[in-house]
Amino acid sequence: MEKENMTNGNVQTGGTTVKKGSIKMAGAGQAGGGDYDEVKIAGSGKIVGDVTCNELSSSGSGKVEGDVTAEKVSISGSGRVLGNVNAKYFKVSGSTKVDKTLTAEEAKASGALKIEGDAKVKQLHVSGSIHVVGGVYGELVDCSGDLKIGGNAEVEKLDVNGALRIDGSLNVGELNIRVNGNSRVKEIGGEKITIKQGSVIGNFVMRMVKSFFPTTNTFTAEMIEGDEIYLEDTTAQIVRGNKIFIGKGCSIGTVEYKDSLEVVDGGKVEKETKL
């Protein structure tokens, strides 16, 4: 990219407009990383290097080949960051990929988001699908759709209406799952755990597809441990807690309870032990 005295106006290079403290790209522009006030990418623009700015926005197939540190990051289309993202506010729509770790106070995703590293987010709101290869750490995770985590998850509150898959363990304060699709978590430890059959989500076409090709909505875990546990349509080897409710569609190997155990609507428990 051309060098300039930034006080002398603007320079355009291959679809890239550089102002003092800002970058604006249209089409297939390219610019180097650095410190900026604002970075805007429209089309297939690319930033080569780490970027620090107040706001970064990308529409189309924009790409950053480096880390992004910003107050606000907004991506629509098929954006990609080949490094880490550290932002106060992170919003994506479409198909977005972060090749390393996402750190944010608040993140909103609609569409498909993949994070190759960890997601360290105070509040995460998802409508669509999100795949985190590493772990998820935060206060609130709210997902309507498909949430897949390759590592462990540690959150204060997790709400899911859809499918949840965690290859590692889940440490949670309050868990609410409305199962809509096969779900599994290796181990769950929490205070209040509620797993129920969910409602059909998605648009009219998706609901019609599900009506012709129904899927089994089940939740599977090796162990579920908590203070208050309410389960439906759950298969687990061990369930341990103070107050436990086992409802319809459940198949549990061993239940260990301290205060109370209620089994209704055909729920199956092979072994009951009062602690």
Residues 6+ apart with CB under 8 A from 85: 67, 68, 73, 98, 100, 101, 102, 103, 104
Q: Nearest-CA neighbor of 47 among 1, 110, 86, 9?
A: 1
Domain ranges of the chain: 118-274
SS3 8: helix
pLDDT of residue 17: 54
Distance CA 158, CA 43 (A): 36
Averages of pLDDT over each 10 residues, the chain, 275 residues:
30 47 90 95 95 96 97 97 98 97 98 98 97 99 97 98 97 97 96 88 46 68 98 98 98 98 97 96
Cβ count within 10 A of residue 87: 22
CA atoms of 55 and 151, how far apart (whole Å): 30
Task: Map residue 241 onto helix, strand or coil.
Answer: strand
Contact 220, 184 (CB under 8 A): yes
Cα angle 225, 175, 261 (rounded to 5 degrees) comes to 45
